[in-house]
Amino acid sequence: MQSSVDIADAVPPKAGMKRAVRRRATVGRILIGLASLVFLVVLVVQVLHAAGAIAAGFSTWRPILIVYLLWAIAFGTAQVLIRGERGQRALFLLPAVFFTVAVVIFPTIFGLYIASLDWNLSSIEGPHFSGLDNVRAMLSDTYYWNALGNMVFYSVAVLGEYAIAFALALLLSAEIRARKFFRVVFLLPMMLSPVAVSWMIGKSLLEYRFGPAATLARYLGWDNPAFFASPWMARFTIQAMDAWVSIPFIMIILLAGLQAMPKEVQEAAKVDGANGWQSFWHVTFPIMLPVSITVLIIRIIFKLKLADIVINVTAGGPGGATDTVSSFIYRVYRDRSNVGYGTALAMVYLLLIIVLLTLVLRLSKRWTQRVT
């Protein structure tokens, strides 16, 4: 990592200091060289050991992790030795970068490799290379396409969550008593773990025989309150539960936006004789548009990860009607131990997300610029 700083440490050093600096830099370079050498040697030994070529080696790959850590520390120290002040500055960023490379970048690349394997953990024969077979299998996997279709529904439903959250934010920003109490209460659902919510609402409140929601539905005249029997009903119920958990998040951010809005604008609208709806539609809503788009995008990103509630309440049923991509891949692994295929599905999903999100970000940038 090179770090360039505007204000170079530009004091011309004396000759002796210069030599000391140069010596330190040499020590630093030697340190990097040594650390890299150790890392490579251990890696090669372990790869050969794992391949069965040599007997020397470790029983697990854990030493590689330790050597990587040592290498990272040596690299950081060497940066300070070689670059001095600038090296110290680089040291702020390096831990996070090394961590991310080890825990995100490497596994993702490794995942691309796994995705090209025909690898079933429960079968006796190990992994073998199968190229694009997994992707080909995916194209004819109706369950996967169905799950992708469901993701579209769940993502569009974010608009409904947004509408409710906006209404709640407006309520909370009105002149009311006990505002703090209502804010805490409205925030609570967000704090609860989706797994607990799955039981609390999905498995007990909505229970067919004696859940209070079912009782209420019967009282209101719905004879057969089965919340998870028909595909669309199940989809809406899952969506409602996810909305219950996530509306507070949207609400809090919209509320912050409303509170940051200059009061004069509202008053000006009032002076001009606008009624409540007009001042909302022509003043508040346009001003809130950038915040709204930001929160919608964040919310959709999180929605695309939806899994916990589906896994625990319906396990994707009935007939895959409530499946999300994540819960489907989870079952591919849990039921069939199919690591290669599952990873391939996940990689395609990631690719789709990246492409779509790039498009949405482009569009939204243009759109918010035009409005504001």
Partner 1 sequence: MAVTTAKSAHRHPVAPRAKRMASRALIYAALLFWTFICLFPIYWTVTTSFKSAVDVTQAHLIPWVDFNPDWKGWRSLGLSPDTLFETSTARSEFVNRFINSIITSVGASVLALILGSLAAYGLSRFRYKFAWMRNDDILFFFMSQLILPPVVLALPFLVLYKALALLDTTFGLILLYTLTVLPIVIWIMRDQFNAIPVELDEAAFVDGLSAWGAFLRIILPLAFPGMAAAFILSLVLCWNEYFFAALLTSTDAKTLPVMVASQTGSQGINWWSMAALSTAAIAPLVLIGIFLERYIVSGLTTGAGK
Q: Which is nearer to partner 1, 82 or 114 (CB)?
A: 114
342 touches partner 1 by CB under 8 A: yes
Q: Please report how close the Cβ of residue 284 comes to partner 1 at its closest, in angstroms.
A: 14
Which candidate, 251, 346, 257, 258, places its Cα nearest to that of 299?
251
Q: Which is nearer to partner 1, 28 or 326 (CB)?
A: 326
Binding window for partner 1 (CB under 8 A); candidates: 23-31, 136-144, 209-217, 277-285: 209-217
Return the bridge partners of 117, or none: 129
Query: Of 253-312, which residues contact partner 1 (CB under 8 A)?
Result: 253, 256-257, 259-260, 267, 270-271, 291, 294-295, 301, 304-305, 307-308, 311-312
Which candidate, 92, 83, 75, places its Cα nearest to that of 8?
83
252 touches partner 1 by CB under 8 A: yes
347 touches partner 1 by CB under 8 A: yes
Q: Please report how close the Cβ of residue 16 comes to partner 1 at its closest, in angstroms.
A: 21
Report CA torsion sign: 372, 365, 346, 93.
negative
357 touches partner 1 by CB under 8 A: yes
Residue 117: which H helix or E strand, with range? Answer: strand 117-118
Q: Please report how close the Cβ of residue 184 comes to partner 1 at its closest, in angstroms.
A: 5
Contact with partner 1 (CB under 8 A): which of 72, 74, 238, 329?
A: 329
82 touches partner 1 by CB under 8 A: no
104 burial type by CB count under 10 A (0-12 exposed, 13-18 middle, 19+ buried):
exposed
Are the beta carbons of 208 and 230 closer than 8 angstroms?
no
* Cα separations in angstroms, 24 against 28, 37, 70, 81, 90: 6, 20, 20, 5, 17
314 burial type by CB count under 10 A (0-12 exposed, 13-18 middle, 19+ buried):
buried
Q: Please report how close the Cβ of residue 354 comes to partner 1 at its closest, in angstroms.
A: 7
Residue window 135-174: x/- pattern of binding to partner 1, with contact defined by CB under 8 A: --------------------------------xx--x--x
Are the beta carbons of 55 and 49 closer than 8 angstroms?
yes
111 touches partner 1 by CB under 8 A: yes
Which one-letter DSSP state was computed for residue 130?
A: -
Q: Which is nearer to partner 1, 70 or 357 (CB)?
A: 357
Binding window for partner 1 (CB under 8 A); candidates: 22-30, 138-146, 228-236, 250-258: 250-258
